[in-house]
Amino acid sequence: MSLRRIKALTKKEFIQMSRDIRSLMGALFNPLLMIFLFGYALSLDVDRIPTVVLDLDRTPASREFIHRLTDSRYFTLVRYLERDGDVDASLARGEALMALVIPTDFASKVTQGMKAPLQVVFDGSDSNTATIALGYLKAVAAGFDIALQEQRIRRAGLKMVDMPLEARIRVWFNPELKSKNFIIPGLTGVIMMAICSVMTALSVSREKETGTLEQLISTPITSLELLLGKLLPYLAVGLVDLALVVGAGVLIFDVPFRGSYVDLFIASFIFLIGSLSWGLFVSVVAKSQIQASQISVISAFLPSFLLSGFIYPIENMPVVLQALTFIVPARYFVEVLKGLFLQGVGLTVLWPQVLALVLYAVLVLNLARKRFTKRIL
């Protein structure tokens, strides 16, 4: 292997990139565009649930319960309803996701210490939101019930007794439980996998269509030297892309970064080599730029998005899909990013994931080299 030839190929690739400014700007700014679009569009936080209320009781007790409900950040009162028929109509029109019906005897039963049933109707077309909203509603109802019990005890002239069990809950790594704090790091891995594989896939495919690849093959250059000469320039672009995406996550989305930037560079360097190598392998297999782009998106972006665990927990997937996640490199890189961003751990803890990325990079680069060697022969 000749370093001089690799250097010459790398220089040639940089010159070609500089001549195609539009593609270069796309490679640099597409990751930023994707992090903004997905970062603002993807959110698992459920709050400000639009709610309509049918208060048939219209007493201070019912108004107090409604106030507790709407005073939280989880529910937003859209309007009060007048008739029973308005409940179904509001949900059908999409005006609200939840309807609360307070019966006429609500206050009397509450005053007598009896159970006062409430009718709650959810729009079940979004089952995840409905389930979370139900949990919020139960918490509000439990708080209302505790306040009533305290009032009864005070009126009876009794002394409040502290509960024997006190739960002191501490949430580590993401104390505010914001979904963006784990979505942005995971999204970074998915975006880099997609962008890098497409960049190198199109690079070699372009050489095929223009006929310059045959000229390179006719020289004494080896397949490994050619692949490295193609890979290194895009590795530099990928590192710049990663810096832009991480910077946007920390500075714009306010996601905390508690780890070491040196560890981030090492893990990202290895991951990018694997991602770029996959693009090179795709470029060798594909017959055109369009085909290379399609294969890259299907084989790199979709598995990374669906099987990396950055949105959908791997533990909840079917057993077959759980097994498939082990061959998705984004799974390991997402774990590394979450460890660095949120947990603040280093490579001493994340070394198994980094080792998996090393094995993937070596395997895919070797596959691309062998496939390219066969093509030359």
Amino acid at 261: Y
Q: Looking at the domain 49-155, which fold is it?
A: abc type-2 transporter like fold (3.40.1710)
CB 283 within 8 A of CB 292: yes
Which stretch, 39-53, 85-99, 215-229, 333-347, has highest mean pLDDT? 333-347
Exposure class string for 66-92: b at 16+ Cβ within 10 A, else e: beebbebebbebbeebeeeebbeebbe
Instruction: Give the dihedral of Cα atoms 101, 103, 108, 109; nearest 10 deg.
Output: -80
Name the percent of the chain lying above pLDDT 70: 93
Segment 47-84, tens digit of pLDDT: 788 999 999 888 988 899 899 888 888 898 999 998 88
Segment 182-211, tens digit of pLDDT: 889 999 999 999 999 988 888 777 777 777
Boundaries of every domain in the chain: 3-43+178-376, 49-155
Confidence of residue 374 (pLDDT cuts 50, 70, 90): very low
Q: Residue 161: its pLDDT value, please?
A: 59
Range with lowest mean pLDDT among 134-138, 174-178, 257-261, 292-296: 174-178
Mean of the per-residue pLDDT values for the chain? 85
Nearest partner of 250 among 263, 261, 236, 234, judged by Cα: 261
Confidence of residue 140 (pLDDT cuts 50, 70, 90): confident
Segment 320-332, tens digit of pLDDT: 999 999 999 999 9
Confidence of residue 237 (pLDDT cuts 50, 70, 90): very high
Is the predicted pLDDT of residue 9 greater than 90, yes or no?
A: no
Give 8-61 as a DSSP string.
HHHHHHHHHHHH-HHHHHHHHHHHHHHHHHHHHH------SEEEEEEESS-SHH
CB 10 within 8 A of CB 232: yes
Q: Residue 248: its pLDDT value, please?
A: 93
Segment 331-361, tens digit of pLDDT: 999 999 999 998 889 899 999 999 999 999 9
The rounded Cα 154 to chain-centroid distance in angstroms is 49
Q: Which two tokens stand for residue 108?
A: 């009397």
Cα–Cα dist 317/308, whole Å: 11
Predicted TM-score of the model (pTM): 0.79
